[in-house]
């Protein structure tokens, strides 16, 4: 076979593909594994969403190519979400672009903006697709440390001038994966100011925007006046509406940036399955109260995990939002050593913090998106394992 493209030679398989293969092997060998590693909601979407999908699938008109922008009703539904939750009006033609999951849009945005020599400013630890997208484009990633002492917010003043001159994209993500940190609106305002000052496209990833506990509602960057001049926001139904497998999301905000992403997408996809768009409209416009009930289930699981971790001497912060707990690993081991040993010996899978960047070392990410009885069982296994190893 001829050699792969340079882009592919720079790319590697993402951690979860390898982890899933390893877990499948353990399961084939008879091991019972509890997966609290990935943030994939275990509960289904509300019945009215599934019913809308069933009706749409039975409709003979739904089986051709969809349009790249999705139907107007879908863009209106995303627009109404922003109006309802954030008091922000978006133009349905130029300021809302439906996506096939936000991962798709995040990766492709980098292809639309970055060339070799360009820089993307990326949080560390951070969602790995920001760096994967920059890497694929042949651009440089400059990592902004997210440190506990700064409440996991980046320090813009630490970015060197030479890097800033070449930087085009500034990635932020709150509620944050993997640290579960949240950002006050004042920080988002500072980010908008900084992006305007340095002519950056601020890309705010709001994948966890509707997973908040005890009444906490994360702000949108679009709430900041003038955000549209310099920012886009990625939003997704994966976590907010338990629809991760459906691949539905949207990018909103800065019209020229969305136009570039749209142009790229017209070259590589042919629109989403129209029936999924119908279900997405039902998700966005139908009853939303079930989200509070769902969030309450996550809060209960969060508290079971926090109690268990604290009982074994680990002291994670209490997250206000997202699907994750960001916990220190026991002293004397790397995050990969500890999570691998826990998986192999106790059958509990957590994500090592180091896969999210160098500043993730020393931590592990634990997801609350597994059934509550499995969360309870995982806590018991962790306690028993650490009791045995003196960990
Ligand atoms: C921070 C963040 N952004 C984006 C995504 C991608 O979500 P999706 O492609 O399902 O919309 C994820 C998924 O885990 C995530 O954690």
| Mean pLDDT, rounded, for 187-194 | 98
What was the pLDDT predicted at 278? Answer: 97
| Mean pLDDT, rounded, for 96-101 | 98
The rounded distance, in Å, linking the Cα atoms of 220 and 203 is: 12
| Mean pLDDT, rounded, for 95-122 | 98
**Of 125, 238, 250, best ligand 1 pocket probe by most atoms within 8 Å of the beta carbon:** 238
CA of 350 to the centre of ligand 1 (A): 18
Which element (helix H / strand E) includes 121?
strand 119-124
Atom of ligand 1 nearest to the CA of 99: 11
Q: How far is CA 375 from CA 313, 315, 323, 326, 382, in A?
A: 18, 18, 13, 15, 11
Joined together, the tokens standing for residue 328 give: 């220190």
Over residues 272-319, the pLDDT tens digits come to 999 999 999 999 999 999 999 999 999 999 999 999 999 999 999 999
- Three-state DSSP state, 364: strand
What integer best gives the mean pLDDT of the chain? 96
Asked whether 372 and 301 are in contact (CB, 8 A), the reply is yes
Say yes or no to pLDDT of 391 above 70: no
Neighbours of 130 (CB within 10 A): 26
Q: Whose CA is nearest to atom 14 of ligand 1?
A: 39
What was the pLDDT predicted at 388? Answer: 73
**Number of helices (H) and strands (E), helices first, in the chain?**
14, 12
The rounded distance, in Å, linking the Cα atoms of 161 and 197 is: 12
CA of 103 to the centre of ligand 1 (A): 6
CA of 315 to the centre of ligand 1 (A): 26
Q: Whose CA is nearest to atom 2 of ligand 1?
A: 207
Joined together, the tokens standing for residue 209 give: 């925007």
Atom of ligand 1 nearest to the CA of 103: 9
Residue count of the chain:
391
What was the pLDDT predicted at 166? Answer: 98
CATH 3.60.150.10 fits 6-45+291-389, yes or no: no
pTM over 0.75: yes
Confidence band of 390 (pLDDT split at 50, 70, 90): low
The residue whose two tokens read 């702000």 is 219
| Mean pLDDT, rounded, for 118-131 | 98
Query: Edge-to-edge strands of the sheet including 167-173?
Result: 96-99, 249-253, 231-236, 201-205, 167-173, 119-124, 140-145
Atom of ligand 1 nearest to the CA of 38: 14
Over residues 324-359, the pLDDT tens digits come to 999 999 999 999 999 999 999 999 999 999 999 999
**Of 109, 152, 239, best ligand 1 pocket probe by most atoms within 8 Å of the beta carbon:** 239
Give me the percent of the chain exceeding a pLDDT of 70.
99
Over residues 5-15, the pLDDT tens digits come to 999 999 988 89
Q: Which residues line ligand 1 (CB under 6 A)?
A: 39, 101-103, 127, 173, 177, 205, 207, 236, 238, 244, 249
Asked whether 88 and 81 are in contact (CB, 8 A), the reply is no
CA of 237 to the centre of ligand 1 (A): 10
What was the pLDDT predicted at 14? Answer: 87
Angle among Cα 328, 35, 338 to the nearest 5 degrees reads: 35
Say yes or no to pLDDT of 387 above 90: no
What was the pLDDT predicted at 389? Answer: 73
Atom of ligand 1 nearest to the CA of 248: 11
Angle among Cα 329, 365, 109 to the nearest 5 degrees reads: 140
- Going from N- to C-terminal start, the domains of the chain cover 6-45+291-389, 47-285
**Class at the top of the CATH hierarchy for domain 47-285:** alpha beta
């Amino acid at each position: 076979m001829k050699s792969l493209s340079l882009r592919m030679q720079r790319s590697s398989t993402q951690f979860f593909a390898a982890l899933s293969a390893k877990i499948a092997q353990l399961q084939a060998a008879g091991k019972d594994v509890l997966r609290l590693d990935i943030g994939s909601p275990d509960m289904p979407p509300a019945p009215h969403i599934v019913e809308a999908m069933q009706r749409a699938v039975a409709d003979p008109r739904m089986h051709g190519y969809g349009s790249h922008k999705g139907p107007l009703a879908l863009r209106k539904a995303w627009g109404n979400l922003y109006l309802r939750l954030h008091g922000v009006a978006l133009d349905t033609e130029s300021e809302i672009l439906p996506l096939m999951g936000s991962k798709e849009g995040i990766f492709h945005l980098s292809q639309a903006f970055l060339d070799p020599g360009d820089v993307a400013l990326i949080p560390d630890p951070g969602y790995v697709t920001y760096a994967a997208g920059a890497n694929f484009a042949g651009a440089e990633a400059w990592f902004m440390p997210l440190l506990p002492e700064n409440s996991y917010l980046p320090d813009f003043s630490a970015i060197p001038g030479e890097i800033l001159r070449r930087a085009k994209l500034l990635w932020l993500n709150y509620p944050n994966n993997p640290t579960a940190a949240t950002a006050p609106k004042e920080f988002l305002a500072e980010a908008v100011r900084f992006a305007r000052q340095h002519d950056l496209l601020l890309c705010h990833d709001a994948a966890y925007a509707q997973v908040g506990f005890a009444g906490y509602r994360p702000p949108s960057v679009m709430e900041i006046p003038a955000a549209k001049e310099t920012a886009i926001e990625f939003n997704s139904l994966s976590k907010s509406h338990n629809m991760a497998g459906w691949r539905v999301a949207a990018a909103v905000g800065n019209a020229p940036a969305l136009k570039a992403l749209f142009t790229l997408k017209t070259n590589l996809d042919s629109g989403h399955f129209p029936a999924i768009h119908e279900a997405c409209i039902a998700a966005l416009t139908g009853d939303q109260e079930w989200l509070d009930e769902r969030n309450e289930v996550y809060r209960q699981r969060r508290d079971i995990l926090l109690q268990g971790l604290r009982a074994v001497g680990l002291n994670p912060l209490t997250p206000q939002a997202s699907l994750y707990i960001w916990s220190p690993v026991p002293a004397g081991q790397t995050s990969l050593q500890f999570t691998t040993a826990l998986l192999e010996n106790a059958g509990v899978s957590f994500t090592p913090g180091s896969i999210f960047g160098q500043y993730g070392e020393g931590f592990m990410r634990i997801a609350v998106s597994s059934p509550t009885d499995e969360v309870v069982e995982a806590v018991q296994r962790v306690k028993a394992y650490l009791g045995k190893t003196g960990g």
